[in-house]
A and B are shown apart, each in its own frame.
Chain A
Amino acid sequence: MGAQGLRAVTPRWFSVWKRNAYVYAKRWKLYALPPLAEPFLLVFALGIGVGSFIDQIEGVTYLVFVSAGLIASETLLRATFECTYGSFFRMTYQNTFEGIITTPVSASDVAMAEIFWGATKASISALAVLLVLAVLGVFSGPLLVLVPLIIFAGALNFSSMALIVSSRVPDLEYFTFYFAGVVFPMLFLAGTYFPLSRLPEIVQSAMWLLPFTSVVDVARSLIIERPDSMIYWKSLYILVSTVVLMELAIRSLTNRLVR
């Protein structure tokens, strides 16, 4: 087969991304409205509801503190759902990928498209959360313009991770292990809803291995306008781990489809 992974991807991947975007646009009310309703719920329940019990946290109101967590969780959950259930449905029950890879589009192209599509959908939802928070006047600093970049990089990261799982499970039911064992612990412990420093040292160190922790942290430091000296390293870690996970996801899906 010659090249594998990212090096095997051609510009043809975009035709598959367009297919997904077309289907999404066709049913945008069905697909887009529920995810847009969710940010309101999150902001009110966690930010305003829970926040009213908390004075200040790391020198800001709880709503400001938790906003980065809300944005990062939205990114993680949307990307994960799309590249687990969404991709798996297209791959197995719908047999869509098999139809596509007899055209000049390769399995690597399909994988790239799924990763970028998952990231696109996740970014749309996360940006909606950001927008709601900005409209509520929760924050407005100049560093905010960098947040979408972190969201998108994180979304690619989480989509790739989910696609690796999808290309390895025999059945849909196995996703519950991924959610219970990886996604939810990560979602709740990565400094998302309370400071990471409250956890035991050993757990903290383990959490820093997960790119999600850096996404939350970098997004938060941009939102509260207090970037620390480690921000470049954390950003670099997000980028490098994203490239590695994309490479693995592309190889993994190719092995599943071409056999």
Chain B
Amino acid sequence: MIEARSLTKRYKELTAVDGLDFTVPDGSFFTFVGPNGAGKTTTIRMMCGLTPITSGSLEIAGMSLPDQVADVKSVLGVVPQESSLDRDLTVMENLLIYAGYFGIEKKLARSRAEELIEFVELTNKIDSQPEELSGGMRRRLLIARSLINNPRLLILDEPTTGLDPKVRRSIWDTLQDLTTQGMTLVMSTHYMEEASELSDIVAVMDHGKILSSGPPDELTADYDGSLEKLFLSMTGKEHD
């Protein structure tokens, strides 16, 4: 689904993403894990065409960025780190207007929106404004919105940051449902245990580089199954 070769992003002197090579197979759950400032968001923004690539190549669903950016974006679902819900619109309107950006026809948009609102259990909030929702509900609405175009690839940037454990569990369940349905997922997180629990492949990042990547149980085989210990031994520092 994704092929990245020497993917690099420089901001003036700072190299935020430093020559990443990775492959995300179709139907897999792939996670970037690393501390704040590791370069996770920048990597994800490059996948969505939100940040220009400084050098290297990036291919999504057989299309290359940045040349085919609009086609790439039409098969993506994106859940950003910061809420980008439309605060002038209700829950339902958020999905319907968003469908308009994909050129989805009105009737189809409405039936998909109803389905998705039910899927993320917001049916009783259908006419609420985003600011009337709890943090967890807002995150679920962002997930519903990202699915409106039936994406082949769902990208989530720190989808559980700032949520309490119970709500995090419910987001995990939702994501696992989606993998079962065959969707490809790429997530970023700074919670090591979240990465091990959910993903087929983990890429451990620090300072814009991938330190190590592979299935979590293989990676952590020499570290008592703990990504924290792996991170500590590779960087010499505790992970927060």
* CB-based nearest A residue for B83: A95
Q: Tell whether, in the assembled complex, residue B67 and residue A98 are in contact, meaning their CB atoms are under 8 Å apart.
A: no
CB interface residues, A 138-164, toward B, < 8 Å: none
With A258-B50, A258-B51 given, is the CB distance from A104 to B102 under 8 Å? yes
B1 part of interface (Cβ distance < 8 Å): no
Which residues in window 88-133 of A have CB below 8 A to B?
94-96, 98-106
Contact status A12-B86, CB under 8 Å:
no
B63 beta carbon closer than 8 Å to chain A: no
Contact stretch, chosen from A15-23, A40-48, A71-79, A220-228: A15-23
Chain B, 89-112, contact with A by CB distance < 8 Å: what is the 0/1 string? 100010001101111000000000
Inter-chain CA distance A3–B80, complex, in Å, is 26
A33 sits at the interface (CB 8 A): no
The answer to whether A104 and B70 touch across the interface, beta carbons within 8 angstroms, is yes
Min Cβ gap A187→B in Å is 29
Q: Is the beta-carbon distance between B86 and A19 smaller than 8 angstroms?
A: yes
Interface size (B, Cβ < 8 Å)?
Answer: 32
CB-nearest residue of chain A relative to B142?
A99
Residue of A nearest to B94 (CB): A99
CA distance A18 to B50 in the complex (A): 23
Smallest Cβ distance from B103 to chain A, in angstroms?
7
Per the bound structure, the CA–CA distance linking A37 and B137 in Å amounts to: 40
* A2 interfacial by beta-carbon distance below 8 Å: yes
Let me know if A15 and B88 touch, CB within 8 A: no
Point out the residues of chain B lying under 8 angstroms from A52, CB to CB.
none
Q: A10 near B: Cβ within 8 Å?
A: yes
> B135 at the A/B interface (Cβ < 8 Å)?
no
Check A23 against B102 for contact (C-beta < 8 Å): no
How far does the alpha carbon of A103 sit from the alpha carbon of B88 in the complex, in Å? 19
Give chain B residues whose Cβ lies under 8 Å from the Cβ of A259: 51-52
Is B126's beta carbon under 8 Å from chain A?
Answer: no
- The answer to whether A102 and B80 touch (CB under 8 A), given A16-B101, A19-B100, A96-B86, is yes
- Please tell me if the beta carbons of B76 and A106 are within 8 angstroms of each other in the complex: no
Q: Please tell me if the beta carbons of A1 and B103 are within 8 angstroms of each other in the complex.
A: no
Question: A23 to B73, Cβ gap below 8 A?
Answer: no
List A1-33 residues whose CB lies under 8 Å from chain B. 1-2, 10, 12, 15-16, 18-19, 22-23, 26
State whether the Cβ of B49 lies closer than 8 Å to any Cβ in chain A: yes
With contacts A15-B101, A104-B73 known, is A99 near B50, CB below 8 A?
no
A99 contacts which chain B residues (CB < 8 A)? 80, 84-86, 98, 145
Cβ-Cβ contact count across A and B, 8 Å cutoff: 76
A102 touches B97 (CB 8 A): no
Residues from chain A with a CB closer than 8 A to the CB of B97 are 18-19, 22
Q: Shortest CB–CB separation between residue A23 and chain B, in angstroms? A: 4
Contact of B48 among A2, A10, A102 (CB under 8 A): A102
- Say yes or no: A95 contacts B82, CB within 8 Å: yes
Considering the chains assembled together, what is the distance between the CA atoms of A23 and B74 in angstroms? 24
Which residue in chain A gives the minimum CB-CB distance to B73? Answer: A104
Roughly how many angstroms separate A259 CA and B51 CA in the complex, as a whole number? Answer: 5
Asked if A103 and B80 make an inter-chain contact with CB atoms under 8 angstroms apart, the answer reads no
Contacts of B85 in A (CB 8 A): 99
Chain A contacts for B103, CB-based, 8 A: 12, 15, 104
B5 at the interface (CB under 8 A from A): no
B69 on the A face (CB < 8 A) = yes
Contacts of B145 in A (CB 8 A): 99
Which residues of B lie under 8 Å from residue A257 when comparing CB positions? Answer: 50
B71 contact set on A, CB distance < 8 A: 104
The 9 closest A-B pairs by CB, nearest first: A99-B84, A103-B101, A102-B78, A23-B88, A95-B84, A15-B100, A104-B70, A98-B84, A104-B74
Besides A1-B52, A94-B87, A104-B103, 12 other A-B contacts (C-beta < 8 A): A1-B66, A2-B67, A12-B101, A18-B97, A19-B86, A19-B97, A19-B100, A96-B84, A100-B101, A103-B102, A104-B73, A104-B74
